[in-house]
Copies of this chain bind each other. A is one copy, B any other.
Amino acid sequence: MPRLKPIEWTGTDVVIVDQTVLPGALRYETVETPEQMFDAIRRLKVRGAPLIGVSAAFGVYLGMKQLGVSAGGAEAVFRARQTADYLATSRPTAVNLFWALDRVKRRVAGMESVSGQQVTQAVLDEACAILKEDRAMCRAIGEHGFEELRRFDVLHTHCNAGGLATSDMGTALAPVYVGLERGKTFHVIVDETRPLLQGSRITAFELMQAGVPITLICDNMAASVMKRRKVDAVIVGADRIAANGDAANKIGTYGLALIARAHGVPFYVAAPSSTIDPSLCDGSLIPIEERSEDEVTCGMGRRTAPEGVVVHNPAFDVTPAELIAGIITERGFFRAPYDFSRV
């Protein structure tokens, strides 16, 4: 079965998979306005750092479509910048969002003297280029990652950094898919990833669809599973990587890295180079999104905590570089001390 495409440009429409209803339902949705794209990002209908970037770029294009046909270049460039700045406020942590929007803004910079339609076309071209590059990036990460991981049999992954977090085969799961193509089948331990269960809902779903054997566990079972020596390596994605290699990723990643270290299990991060933010010297500077209490108290259909309870719900944590065995990007494999200047 071919992999699901979580976002697609049909030639006329931007179509996404609503990931909030997986795996119970597979619902495609045509996104028609920047506001709808903002909402889709905010509510995690589209999610995963690389996919957020691609989606936001198309979101700018949707803003351009609202321009009148007679709009001039200056108006169109202004609209592109305005829409990009608006979409940049949809989520705070994944740097790919800002990276993709900056690319769109750079693409239209200086186009004030051409027609509005030409600016709109340039935005669409840039969004399509980001989408296309994202697919090539996944493939390259898969190749580099498989080179490193082929000696292992059992991998543990957290959250979803798979095909549904990107526009193709994912980042952390790309080596697994490349392995499948080459006759190597990994067994993947998938943790459910509270509070929003991207592991059980999305990673389990896409790996099972691809025919990869998995075992689903709760997040808090990782140490027990590793103690029984059933795990060869951990591989996760990232939402932002500081210059020193500290990596922000889904909440729970840092604890998992500590547990892996205690059991001598190597811990890898796979992410496109657009995830690296050289402007931050270390991970303490990465802004961490705090999300709604409801995700913890009634995230799965019924209320599971007392009314009025105080909740802390950070969406991400930061894994320090010293716990990371290596960072796999489309440009190759990086080890500490990190020098991302070749990225």
A312 to B216, CA, bound (A): 6
**Chain A 210-240 near chain B by CB (<8 Å), digits 1 or 0:** 0001111111111111010000000000000
CB distance from A234 to the nearest CB of B (A): 13
> Which residue of B is nearest A230, CB measured?
B312
Query: At the interface, yes or no: A132 with Cβ under 8 Å from chain B?
Result: no
Query: At the interface, yes or no: A311 with Cβ under 8 Å from chain B?
Result: yes
Query: At the interface, yes or no: A329 with Cβ under 8 Å from chain B?
Result: no
A261: chain B residues within 8 A (beta carbon): 262
Say yes or no: A300-B304 contact (C-beta < 8 A), given A218-B251, A224-B254, A255-B224. Answer: yes
CB distance from A284 to the nearest CB of B (A): 10
Q: Within the oligomer, what is the number of copies of this chain?
A: 2
> Which residue of B is nearest A250, CB measured?
B220
**Chain A 159-201 near chain B by CB (<8 Å), digits 1 or 0:** 0000000000000000000000000000000001111010011
Query: At the interface, yes or no: A331 with Cβ under 8 Å from chain B?
Result: no
A136 to B107, CA, bound (A): 74
A299 to B301, CA, bound (A): 10
CB distance from A323 to the nearest CB of B (A): 9
B194, A194: Cβ atoms closer than 8 Å: yes
B309, A208: Cβ atoms closer than 8 Å: yes
Interface residues on A, range: 35 or more
Chain A contact residues: over half helix, strand or loop, or mixed?
Answer: mixed
Query: At the interface, yes or no: A302 with Cβ under 8 Å from chain B?
Result: yes
CB distance from A332 to the nearest CB of B (A): 29
A221 touches which of B205, B216, B252 (Cβ 8 Å): B252
A222 to B257, CA, bound (A): 13
Chain A residues 292-343 with CB under 8 Å of chain B are 296-297, 299-306, 308-314, 317
Interface residues of A (CB under 8 A from B): 23-24, 192-195, 197, 200-201, 204-205, 208, 213-225, 227, 251-252, 254-256, 258-259, 261-262, 296-297, 299-306, 308-314, 317
* Contact sample, A vs B, 25 pairs, CB 8 Å cutoff: A192-B194, A194-B219, A197-B304, A197-B305, A200-B304, A200-B309, A204-B309, A205-B306, A215-B310, A215-B312, A216-B311, A217-B311, A217-B313, A219-B219, A219-B252, A220-B220, A220-B255, A221-B312, A221-B317, A222-B255, A223-B258, A255-B255, A255-B259, A259-B259, A301-B302
